Amino acid sequence: MGQSVPLDPQTLLAAYAQGLFPMDDRNGNILWYTADPRGVIPLDEFHIPHTLRALVKKSPHEGGFEIRFNHDFEATMRGCREKRAEGTWISEPIVAAYVRLHQMGFAHSVESWKDGKLAGGLYGVSLGGAFFGESMFHRVRDASKVALVHLVQRLRKQGYDLLDTQATTAHLGRFGCIEIPAEDYLKKLKSALRKNCTFT
């Protein structure tokens, strides 16, 4: 169930701390939602599909991707928006709001580049020891999957406890994404927010 609220940075961060996330209802109204059950990827149980392992290890010179963090956050968001051009929930106000969060150090992108072009990636919000994954896209096969692998590696390295995916999909299930009751999610979120992790 959605509730209309403003998109200023303070409201955004306060809402994330309560387990809420925004979507445009495609009529220009920004609504906040929660999910029960909630999709999460347990960081200590993250699974890299066998077919992807070799690609992740390849350098750009070997046919792999160049991974960049926060190199072009807005372009990454717009890539996600273009991928969902039909009825997208990533409206211009949402793009503007997350660019502001990025400038403040709370929103981040993980980008896969190939031949000097953005091939895919993902973005999300970092708060305490929680990372809230928002969306991902690819223009080159497996580009977003490789970005996800590097995201998890970064979160593990920096001591994060929670990777929130909001919902589960067959695609995310291949990486170990599971559903947990909202009550359990909120307990994990509360614990994660006590940490002071740095994404970059």
Three-class DSSP labels, 108-158: EEEEEEECCEEEEEEEEEEECCEEEEEEEEECCCCHHHHHHHHHHHHHHHC
| Model pLDDT for residues 144-159, shown as the tens digit of each residue | 999 999 999 999 999 9
Check residue 26 and give its pLDDT. Answer: 73
Res. 2 pLDDT band, cuts 50 70 90: very low
| Model pLDDT for residues 68-94, shown as the tens digit of each residue | 999 999 999 999 998 655 556 888 889
Provide the whole-model pTM.
0.93
Q: In what order do the strands lie in the sheet with 30-33?
A: 3-4, 30-33, 21-24
| Model pLDDT for residues 104-163, shown as the tens digit of each residue | 999 999 999 999 999 999 999 999 999 999 999 999 999 999 999 999 999 999 999 999
SS3 16: helix
| Model pLDDT for residues 24-70, shown as the tens digit of each residue | 887 778 888 999 999 999 999 999 998 899 999 999 999 999 999 99
